[in-house]
């Protein structure tokens, strides 16, 4: 066995001597947890969802996590107990996320180390999938009376997260975006967008424009059957600027106007089938929900700016409208 370098041993002892007992204990615990297979959190912070501030972290392997008890508390208002009882009812089985269908719900939590302590959490995307389960079950009239409030809370959570997705929100809260390079953002945009535009298919329901016209006090449909030019600007504002960071800029780069001021395709024809179109559809229907709940355009935009904040904007206070 190779002898230990005396100079290194002396240096280690010197460094240890200037540490507080608490710091020495944290370092020792961190090392023990790492040997036991716990992955460490490289960044941590807090995010505000639905008015609640909850801790989050980015793990060394890039996974974004939220504390297990916080996920339960966010959905139910009570941080005690695991997720199992909220995912296991038989009426929810057809709508449950695939990763939770095999049972052992709480065993799917990720164990990790942060600041010398053990923690358990769920991947950020799991929050969205669980909320989607309740919203889909509500849409199918499959909820029990005791679950209706959970579906309502799920919708609030989804609206809070819909700015650019929970991944970008956690990156911002933890400071991780400072070391995230342009390639990572480009990968996100590539997931949303095709290299070439696809054939046209209707993506915006008539109700989207009917509600817009109602709130603007315009006659629908117009005599010519067309739409005022400003409708395109409203669509960019309400949808593409709020769906993902940099998405509208990338769309205008890939789908520029010609000399006559026309584009060769609709922006939505560039969206990918597996990620882009589902995200677009979910966002459009969420926007329509806010439209239906509004009596005026100003009221709608107040709720819109609160629920779907543009990149760089501040989230308004959660006031009654």
Give how far Cα 283 sits from Cα of 45, 149, 233, 307, Å: 27, 22, 17, 11
DSSP state letters, 80-104: SS-SHHHH--GGGGGGS-GGGTTS-
Sole residue written with tokens 């915006």: 204
Query: Which pLDDT band holds residue 41 (cuts at 50, 70, 90)?
Result: confident
Confidence (pLDDT) at 187: 67
Residue 248 CA to residue 175 CA, distance in Å, equals: 24
Average pLDDT, integer, range 170-187: 65
Sole residue written with tokens 């995230």: 180
Confidence (pLDDT) at 104: 54
pTM: 0.45
DSSP state letters, 216-231: HT--SS-TTS---THH
Convert the pLDDT of each residue in 232-269 to its tens digit: 999 999 999 888 888 888 888 888 888 888 888 889 88
Structure tokens at 194: 């095709």
Confidence (pLDDT) at 237: 93
Above 70 in pLDDT, residue 13?
no
Domain ranges of the chain: 30-178, 182-307
* E-strand stretches of the chain: 39-49, 52-59, 64-67, 110-114, 117-123
Average pLDDT, integer, range 224-231: 80
Structure tokens at 223: 């005599």
Nearest residue to 64 via CA among 172, 136, 153: 172
Convert the pLDDT of each residue in 43-79 to its tens digit: 888 877 766 778 889 998 888 898 888 888 888 877 7
Sole residue written with tokens 């923690």: 119
């Amino acid at each position: 066995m190779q002898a230990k370098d005396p100079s290194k041993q002396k240096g280690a002892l010197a460094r240890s001597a200037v540490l507080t007992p608490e710091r020495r204990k944290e370092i020792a615990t961190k090392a023990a947890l790492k040997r036991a297979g716990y992955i460490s959190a490289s960044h941590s912070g807090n995010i505000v969802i639905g008015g609640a501030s909850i801790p989050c972290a980015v793990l060394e392997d890039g996974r974004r996590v939220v504390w297990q008890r916080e996920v339960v508390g966010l959905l139910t208002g009570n941080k005690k107990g695991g997720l199992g009882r909220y995912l296991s009812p038989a009426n929810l089985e057809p709508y449950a996320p695939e990763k939770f269908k095999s049972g052992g719900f709480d065993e799917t939590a990720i164990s990790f180390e942060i600041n010398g302590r053990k923690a358990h959490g769920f991947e950020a995307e799991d929050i969205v999938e669980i909320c989607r389960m309740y919203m889909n079950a509500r849409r199918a009239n499959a909820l029990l009376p005791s679950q209706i409030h959970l579906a309502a809370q799920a919708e609030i959570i989804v609206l809070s997260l819909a700015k650019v997705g929970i991944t970008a929100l956690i990156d911002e809260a933890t400071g991780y975006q400072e070391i995230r390079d342009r390639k990572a953002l480009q990968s996100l945009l590539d997931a949303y967008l095709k290299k070439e535009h696809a054939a046209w298919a209707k993506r915006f329901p008539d109700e989207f424009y009917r509600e817009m016209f109602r709130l603007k006090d315009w006659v629908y449909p117009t005599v010519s059957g067309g739409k005022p030019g400003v409708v395109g600007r409203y669509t960019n504002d309400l949808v593409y600027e709020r769906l993902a960071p940099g998405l509208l800029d990338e769309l205008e780069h890939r789908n520029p106007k010609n000399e006559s001021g026309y584009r060769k395709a609709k922006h939505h024809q560039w969206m990918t089938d597996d990620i882009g179109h589902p995200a677009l559809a979910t966002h459009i229907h969420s926007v329509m929900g806010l439209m239906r709940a509004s009596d005026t355009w100003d009221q709608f935009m107040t709720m819109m700016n609160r629920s779907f904040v543009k990149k760089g904007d501040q989230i308004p206070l959660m006031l009654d409208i």
